[in-house]
Each structure stands twice: as C-alpha cells, then as structure tokens.
Amino acid sequence: EPEVTQTPSHQVTQMGQEVILRCVPISNHLYFYWYRQILGQKVEFLVSFYNNEISEKSEIFDDQFSVERPDGSNFTLKIRSTKLEDSAMYFCASSRGYYNEQFFGPGTRLTVL
C-alpha cells in the first residue's frame, strides 16, 4: 500500500542553523501539507501546496519557513535559522484532492539545542 515517507526520523540541530525536512508524498497525490506538533500540544497546520505553489499558510509559517518540490517526488520544508521554539514533530501529509482524505507520514522529530 502506498505511504507517505519522511526523512530523517530525528534531526538535532544548533540554534541558528538551517534544516531541511524531506517528505515523499504518495505518487498520484496532488496536494501536500506540513503540520507541526510541539510536545504535549495539538497538531497545527503550517502550509498547503498545490501545483508548485503555496495555496494556504498559517501565521506560524513566517519568512523563516519555505517549502519546495524540487523534483517529481520530494516535498521539502526548510527552516532557515532555527529557534529553540521550532523543536517539534513535523508531519507531512498528502491527498488526491483538497477535499480528499489526507495521508500522513511518520513525522520528523526536530530538536533545536
């Protein structure tokens, strides 16, 4: 069964460093999403992406964040200059359409020291 994959599973970085979180969505899906879950808190929407551009973003998704689909399979989230408060689990998801069920990757745990 096709699934969303994410790498790495755990990333540790120093404050101020850039990180890139990678996702491979399900191959025939057209919509891609990033979500964040700070430890002990609920999942929060970051951004949705369709047709090679951002379709919606939350107020969390400020200028230090960017997303890209560099090739036909990967979907990446870049954090330019990490802060301590960026420590969280980051989930990627994909769906066939905007109204369709979203399928989630296993998450990347980001720890900023």
Q: Which residues bind another protein (CB under 8 A)?
A: 33, 35, 37, 42-45, 48, 55-56, 58, 89, 91, 98-104, 106-107, 109
What dihedral angle (degrees, nearest 10) is formed by the CA atoms of 93, 34, 73, 15? -140
Cβ nearer to another protein, comparing 52 with 72: 52
Q: Judge contact between 102 and 3, C-beta under 8 A.
A: no
Q: Smallest distance, Å, CB 24 to another protein?
A: 15
Q: Smallest distance, Å, CB 16 to another protein?
A: 26
Cβ nearer to another protein, comparing 20 with 44: 44
Alpha-carbon span 32 to 41, nearest angstrom: 22
User: Could you identify the residue written with the tokens 């954090």?
Assistant: 79
